Amino acid sequence: MSMEGRTCVITGSARGIGRGIAEHLGSDGANVVVNYRSSEDAAHETVDAVESAGGNAVAAQADVANREAVERLRDVCHEAFGPADVLVNNAGITADHQFTEMTREEWDRVMDVNLGGMFNCTQEFYDDIWNAEEGRLINISSVVGKQGNFGQANYAAAKSGMFGFTRTIALELAQGGSTANCVAPGFTRTDMVESVPDKVLDRIIAGIPLERLAEVEDIAAVVRFLASEDSSYVTGEVIDVNGGMDL
């Protein structure tokens, strides 16, 4: 799959799933904008990895929850590579507490980054995606958005909110020939699950038919397909990548 000449903006791609997506698209020859909020060194490592894999890359600091910062992210993209063809809304956070203990601040923080960041980035890059030949919007949701998860009412609400948003934008983009899809990963081996105690992880794995956590590559491979021209007729979908957790 060649992505040569295609420009891809991936939010939160200094590490974790975002980094895996950057490396996959880079190895297909894409121009990649590696967005980070605080992991500057890791962002530069990702840029090096994308370039070694055969792509072009630039690092761009921006807190996706901040609209002015996202405007600057768009400017960096335009200056480095021109308009974006692909936007991957990957940046996400958790702030877990059982609901009765959850503070309004934890609720707002998760909404501001996971949904507000998606809103800001999609609006700033909307014209790019609309005007692109085969533009692509790809939102990284979660199995938690479908199933819920103890202590994650805020995160589950944000992640299922991505489903309705994606289907609506898919309808609005369709006339221009561009697509919007969601990927809903299961539990994936990144820093985000690092803090989960081993006992809890063992219980999670016991409930996964494929009997393992996802690796970053499992998720990135599906995003790579959705970013490519091979997915031209797929839009408004939620693609589960969860080892069979729904079975």
Q: Which active-site residues does the annotation give?
A: 155
Given a contact cutoff of 8 angstroms between Cβ atoms, the answer to whether 229 and 27 are in contact is no
Within 37-56, the residues that bind ligand NAP by CB under 6 A are 37-39
Closest distance between ligand NAP and the C-beta of residue 4, in Å? 26
By the rule CB under 6 A, 113 interacts with ligand NAP: yes
15 binds ligand NAP (CB under 6 A): yes
Q: Of 53 and 118, which CB lies nearer to ligand NAP in the complex structure?
A: 118
Given the complex with ligand NAP, which of 53 and 220 has the nearer CB atom?
A: 220
Site for ligand NAP in 170-199 (CB under 6 A): 185, 187-188, 190-193
* Smallest distance from ligand NAP to CB 108, Å: 13
By CB under 6 A, tell whether 245 contacts ligand NAP.
Answer: no
For the segment 134-163, give every residue that binds ligand NAP (CB under 6 A): 140, 142
Q: Rounded to the nearest whole angstrom, what is the least distance from the CB of residue 93 to ligand NAP in the complex?
A: 5
CB of 117 to ligand NAP, least distance (A): 6
Binding to ligand NAP (CB under 6 A): which residues in 206-235? none
Place of tokens 């405007």: 71
Residues that bind ligand NAP (CB under 6 A): 11-12, 14-18, 35-39, 63-65, 90-93, 113, 117, 140, 142, 185, 187-188, 190-193
